[in-house]
Chains A and B, each alone.
Chain A
């Protein structure tokens, strides 16, 4: 599923105009993005949480050429899945 399908699905489920559903979905993800960029935690019960992790630089290797490269330190969001989603996703 992509974002436009998510928007459509929300519009249908709640009987909302497509434009309104689009504003809602965009607001939610831009809120999350802003928090992450500020280095703030995001905590959505049942879904999961994001926190920004700092990774140190290291010497890496280009697997194709064998060339040694310097990987600079970076920040990446880490998503920890929430209890409810974790249990619901783990079905066969």
Chain B
């Protein structure tokens, strides 16, 4: 039921006219380019879909809820997704109707 990489590869094979094997290679490459972009700290904007943003989180004090031990959480970089207004509207039209 969920959309997986396998299904995307099949759709590329069906619709773009590449062999199954080429489709797989090209999708793996595309995902690698996306990951490299975000890894370098650069955001990725797909207009009409959304934006993958690399956010810097500063270090903070946390607590292990199990042991209640205080600990220092280091500064981190995380990837967040901001939905485009276009997709947001598409997603909320159906439920209003």
Contact = CB atoms under 8 A, between A and B. Distances in A.
With most chain B CB atoms within 10 A of its CB, the pick from A24, A27, A77 is A24
Interface in A69-92: 73-79, 81, 84-86, 88-92
Interface in A22-72: 23-25, 27-29, 31-33, 35-37, 40-50, 52
A78 B64 CA distance: 26
A10 B12 contact: no
Given A14-B29, A88-B39, A44 B78 contact: no
A29 B81 CA distance: 14
Interface residues of A, number: 50
Interface in B10-25: 11-12, 15-16, 18, 25
Given A14-B25, A24-B16, A85-B38, A40 B80 contact: no
Nearest to A52: B91
B49 A1 contact: no
A40 B63 CA distance: 35
Contact of B35 (A31, A37, A47): A47
A1 B45 contact: yes
B3 A27 contact: no
Contacts of A52: 91
Contacts of B15: 23, 27
Given A35-B3, A43-B3, A77-B87, A90 B78 contact: yes
Given A25-B30, A46-B35, A77-B91, A91 B47 contact: no
Interface of A: 1-3, 6, 9-10, 13-14, 16, 20, 23-25, 27-29, 31-33, 35-37, 40-50, 52, 73-79, 81, 84-86, 88-92
